[in-house]
Structure 1
Amino acid sequence: MAAEREAPSILGFPHRPEWGAAAHRKALAGHLRRCRDHAGIGPRQAARCINASESTISRMENGLAALKQAEVEQLLDVYGVRDEPERRRIADLVHEAAQPEPWQPYAHAAPPLLRPLLAMEPAARRIISYEPQLVPGWLQTEEYAEIVIRAAHPTRPAKEIAERVNLRRQRIEMLRRQVDPPVLLAVMDSEVFRRQVGTPGVMYRQIKYLLALLEELRCRLYLQIAPLSVGAVGAIGHPIVHLRFFTPEYLPDMVYLEQYEGAQYREKPSESERYQAVLNNLCGVASPAAQTPALLQAALATWR
């Protein structure tokens, strides 16, 4: 007789408020889908149990719908989830999933296509970023960020520009967390430090800020600079961000691909692995992180 399948468990996903609402919602969404599959119940039957539509179940199981405690408890009853520690952990995750997202204080300024990245990056264990044109957003000074944002959105009102700058500037705070901060590895083309943004003074202060961050955030922030001599390996042309999470069994890798008027996300393992390989190649041909302070000092001298 075949052994009974082991029931899925969510106990491996901790209740971690600092990871943000989206991570809890996404982990719980996948767990609800696994519980339904384990119980042998179809989406339509599950929907009838909470007087909802099949599309509502689909949205709940993809992390796209708000999770209501009463509805989740009803589904757990139908799915045969009786274990009290499991149900307590699920209740904690439902509560955390309902908290404000990091971008919500800046809702008018946060581009909708950027919101999934902003929501998930606090839960990352490791972030790899490639930027061919500019200093990555996490690492920009206020004046550098304002010039870049205003250049991309020249018709936006000053208040919105200021909100976008504040949103961009606050993202670095996750690296200052006392408990399990993400590690950020940022790869930039050497041309980033030759391309003038604003005045020479803006560039000088931006590079000084990078040097200060490297000193402050040791073992949390690594910068690599890719020279033009890397050739085709570095000819990506657009920014890439690859997120890897503390709990990959609940949260798969996420890839963010930025474009001039939009963005795309990739979460299928085959796609995230492909972009991981691209970034690994870039890291391999860029100057080692240990050389970055000297390279930044040399770049600083050109903007005195």
Structure 2
Amino acid sequence: MVDSRTGGGAPTVLRMVLGKRLQHLRESAGVTYEQAGRALDVTHATIRRMEKAEVGLKVPYVEKLLRTYGVEEPDELEAFIALAREANQPGWWHRYRDVLPEWFSVFVSLESESQVIRAYEPHYVPGLLQTESYARAVLRAGMPHAPEGEIKRGVALRMERQSVLTRDEDPPLLWAVVDETVLRRQIGGTEVMREQIDHLLQVTERTNVALQVMPFSAGPHPAMYGPFHLFRFPIDELPDVVCSESLVGAVYLDQRDDVSTFLEALDRMSAQAVPVARTRAVLSALRKEF
């Protein structure tokens, strides 16, 4: 589980990769957490946190751990050190740290490096598919006392996040299931809703966007507890990661049994929801209601 509450900055995907590789090297070398900790003059808990990407990975620490684990070949050492330097660089979202809580920094990092993003959203249009006006209304509803400048920064962050879907190199597949409630609840008024549905009609023409609607008529389904996202990466060391959100933060899960539960729920919902091929017809019909 990725702990989004710890210090040291939100873990980037590269830091997670480096942590996994260090764990593999330690285990292959038969070195315990305690032995690795003694090599760095830190506690065994610090080694665990390094491997889980919960703390920054200082280059001298990484180099000493590599030698402790028997890595001596210069090219291999340099490749690890280069990865450590890159992993410690802040992501583009660091520019929004004034309006970006630590737990959501983790989310944006995972989102930015994903190959596949699957989601269930019972309340709002997913952030990657929102218009500026809709995003502003959503943020204002969630932060009724925030100054206007903070709302504007939040909207700007959300709009910049959306560039992941249109980047030139390997944009991820976004496959989302939304409740019918999402498209019927008026966020920002009829004008905003019309614009939002028009936008969904446009983005669902992209080959890397698959949107399904869970109609009221489908009855109960396996994920009626709340919204969540599942991230899959093009990197062998990284398992799928699930983000389950709450009002004050999020829990990130990467254990196989936990992730499998969410994946099964998504698969079952996708079978119950309106097929992707019919989504545009549903959107067009709902558009007329606004």
Query: If the length of structure 1 is used for normalisation, what is the TM-score?
Result: 0.87
Confirm or deny: 8 A CA contact 2:222 2:269 kept in the other structure.
yes
What residue number does 1:246 align with?
A: 234
Confirm or deny: 8 A CA contact 2:11 2:55 kept in the other structure.
no
Superposition pairs for residues 1-304 of structure 1, below 5 Å? 22-215=12-205, 218-233=206-221, 236-247=224-235, 249-303=236-290
Q: Give the Cα–Cα distance (whole angstroms) in 2 for the partners of residues 92 and 70 of structure 1.
A: 12
Unpaired runs of 5+ residues, structure 2, are: 1-9
What SS class does the counterpart of residue 172 from structure 1 fall into?
Answer: helix
Q: Give the Cα–Cα distance (whole angstroms) in 1 for the partners of residues 44 and 226 of structure 2.
A: 38
What SS class does the counterpart of residue 128 from structure 1 fall into?
Answer: strand
What residue number does 2:4 align with?
A: none
Q: Give the Cα–Cα distance (whole angstroms) in 1 for the partners of residues 176 and 91 of structure 2.
A: 24
Superposition deviation, residue 181 in structure 1: 1.4
% of aligned pairs identical?
37
Superposition deviation, residue 21 in structure 1: 7.0
Deviates more, 1:49-58 or 1:117-126: 49-58
Amino acid at match of 1:244: R
**Could you list the runs of 4 or more consecutive aligned residues of structure 1 that deviate by over 4 angstroms after TM superposition?**
none
Note closer, same or farther for the CA distance 1:21–1:60 as it changes in structure 2 (3 Å cut). closer
Superposition deviation, residue 59 in structure 1: 1.8
Superposition deviation, residue 97 in structure 1: 0.5
Confirm or deny: 8 A CA contact 2:11 2:54 kept in the other structure.
no
Q: Give the Cα–Cα distance (whole angstroms) in 2 for the partners of residues 104 and 226 of structure 1.
A: 35
Confirm or deny: 8 A CA contact 1:21 1:101 kept in the other structure.
no
Query: If the length of structure 2 is used for normalisation, what is the TM-score?
Result: 0.91
Unpaired runs of 5+ residues, structure 1, are: 1-19
Amino acid at match of 1:92: A
What per-residue deviation string (whole Å, max 9, x for no partner) do you get for residues 74-96 of structure 1? 21112111234432331231122
